Amino acid sequence: MSHFPSIILASRNQKKVDEISDLLKPHSIQMQCVTDFPDVPEVVEDGNTFRENAAKKASEVALNTSQWTIGEDSGLMIDALNGAPGIFSARFSGEDATDEQNNAKMIQELQDVSEEKRTAAYICNVALSNPQGEICLQTQASCHGRITEAPRGQNGFGYDPYFEIIELHKTFGELAPIVKQHLSHRARAFEKFIPQVVDLFRHQFSQD
C-alpha cells in the first residue's frame, strides 16, 4: 500500500486536534494542525449549518496550503432552547467566549427547565477537501443525552461536564477518554468518515 499523505485539520482547538489525531493513528494517517501553517488566515464560520461550516473550513485551508484538509464543525443542540447554541456553540456567550462563560449562559437559560426536558444532542460534521479545495467526502453523526444542572467530571472540554449520556448516568466529563472515543458524536462521525478516507487514498495513491 502506498504511503498516505498527511492531512491538515482546520482547527486551532488543541484538545479537538488531539482527540481527532488519536482517532486517525490506528489507520496510519498522520495529522497536522493548521497552527503549523502560520500564514493561513482564520476561516470565517458564516455558514447556516454544521455541514456548510465544515466544508468551508476544509476547502479554504486546503486552498491556502495545497494539502488534503479535514474541516470539522460540531456543537450542542438543546431541545428546550430550540436547538441553540447549535453552530454558535463555541461563541454562545460572545466571540471570545471561554468554556466557562458558555456553560454559565447555558445553565442560566435552562434554570427553569425540568430534568426530563433538558434533552440535547451533540452534532459533528466532517468534510475532506483535496488540495484543490474540492470537497471529496462529508459525513455527520450525533450523540444524544441531556444537560445536567451541575458539572460533573474533569475530562473533555466545552460542554462535556454537563452532557450526560442517560443510559450510562455519566457525563462526557466523567467518561475516560478511551470510552468517549467510542461514544461521542465526533467518534461516530469519524467511524463512518475514516474508512471512506482510507478507501479514497488507496484508490488515489495506488494510481501514482
Please, which pLDDT band fits residue 207 given cuts at 50, 70 and 90?
low
What pLDDT sits at residue 41?
Answer: 94
pLDDT at 192 over 60: yes
202 known member of a binding site: no
* 208 is annotated as an active-site residue: no
14 known member of a binding site: yes
Q: What is the pTM of this model?
A: 0.90
117 known member of a binding site: no
pLDDT at 119 over 80: yes
182 known member of a binding site: no
Dist. CA 133–CA 56, nearest whole Å: 9
Q: Quick check: is 2 in a domain?
A: no
Range of the domain at 163: 7-206
pLDDT at 21 over 60: yes
Instruction: Report how many domains make up the chain.
Output: 1
What would the pLDDT profile of 35-89 be if each residue is shown by its tens digit?
A: 999 999 999 999 999 999 999 999 999 999 999 999 999 999 999 999 999 999 9
Provide the H-helix boundaries in 49-172. 50-65, 99-109
159 known member of a binding site: yes
- What's the mean pLDDT in 18-46? 88
Dist. CA 59–CA 65, nearest whole Å: 10
Please, which pLDDT band fits residue 1 given cuts at 50, 70 and 90?
very low
- What's the mean pLDDT in 22-42? 89
What pLDDT sits at residue 2?
Answer: 47
Are the C-beta atoms of residues 156 and 178 closer than 8 Å to each other? no
185 known member of a binding site: yes
- Here the CATH number for the domain that contains residue 106 is 3.90.950.10
Q: Which of these is catalytic: 18, 39, 46, 73?
A: 73
Are the C-beta atoms of residues 96 and 90 closer than 8 Å to each other? no
Please, which pLDDT band fits residue 29 given cuts at 50, 70 and 90?
confident
Q: Quick check: is 196 in a domain?
A: yes
- What's the mean pLDDT in 91-118? 95
pLDDT at 94 over 70: yes
11 known member of a binding site: yes
What pLDDT sits at residue 202?
Answer: 86
pLDDT at 103 over 90: yes
What would the pLDDT profile of 132-181 be if each residue is shown by its tens digit?
A: 999 999 999 999 999 999 999 999 889 999 999 999 999 999 999 888 87
